[in-house]
Structure 1
Amino acid sequence: MRTGNEPMTARSPLRLRCGLAAFGLVWAIAGTVLFAAAGHPGWAIACGVLAAVTAVDLGVVIRHIRQGPHYQPGRDVPPYAPVKGEKPER
């Protein structure tokens, strides 16, 4: 059931995002190594930059997971109710 306040109470699937970031990090590192070995420095640099961005994202996701149920509530925690009296931003 839609309540109209979904943007304010939305939750990110952090475990899925963590798995996808780890998968991307592995492939970006593999691409960096393989392109460097094949003699394509431009592609190796591009994969290296992608690996760095993915590593930062993975760190942020792990930090949010470790912060506990306030940031990653389980199925038994209901969505947070919006603050009464404030209009949602659009």
Structure 2
Amino acid sequence: MRTGSEPTTARSALRMRFWLSVWGLVWAVFGTVAFALAGRPGWAIACGVLWLVITADMAMILRHIRQGPHYQPGPDIPPYRPPENRRG
């Protein structure tokens, strides 16, 4: 919900997330190979699954970077009113 107190120039840190994902990908690949060579198949599978998750995350991050900036309401747009009937 938009409260009206958001920074007008707020941006997602997609490039930072991308480079952190690259760092994680390097370690996941290293872990997969190292545990496979050390004869620890459970840990190798765990690192392999992490490798797949990181790859999917990187694909999403790159997709969002390629989409470019999206419309953000300006200061002349009033904040959204909270719902009147809250169920809790």
| TM norm. shorter chain > 0.5 | yes
Which of 52, 62, 81 aligns to 2:74? It is: 81
Give the equivalent residue in structure 2 for 1:23: 23
Tell me how many residue pairs correspond in the alignment. Answer: 79
Q: Which runs of 4+ in 1 moved over 2 A?
A: 3-6, 79-86
Q: CA RMSD in A?
A: 2.8
Of the two, which has the highest radius of gyration?
A: 2
Q: Which residue of 1 aligns with 2:68?
A: 68
Gaps of 5+ in 1: 72-78
Which digits, 9 at most, give the CA deviation of each residue in 1:12-56, with x for residues without a partner?
A: 100000000011011101100110000000100110011100000
One-letter amino acid of the structure 1 residue matched with residue 69 of structure 2: P
> What is the percent sequence identity of the aligned residues?
59
Instruction: Give TM-score scaled by structure 1 length.
Output: 0.71
Q: Does 1:57 align with 2:87?
A: no
User: Structure 2 length normalisation: TM-score?
Assistant: 0.73
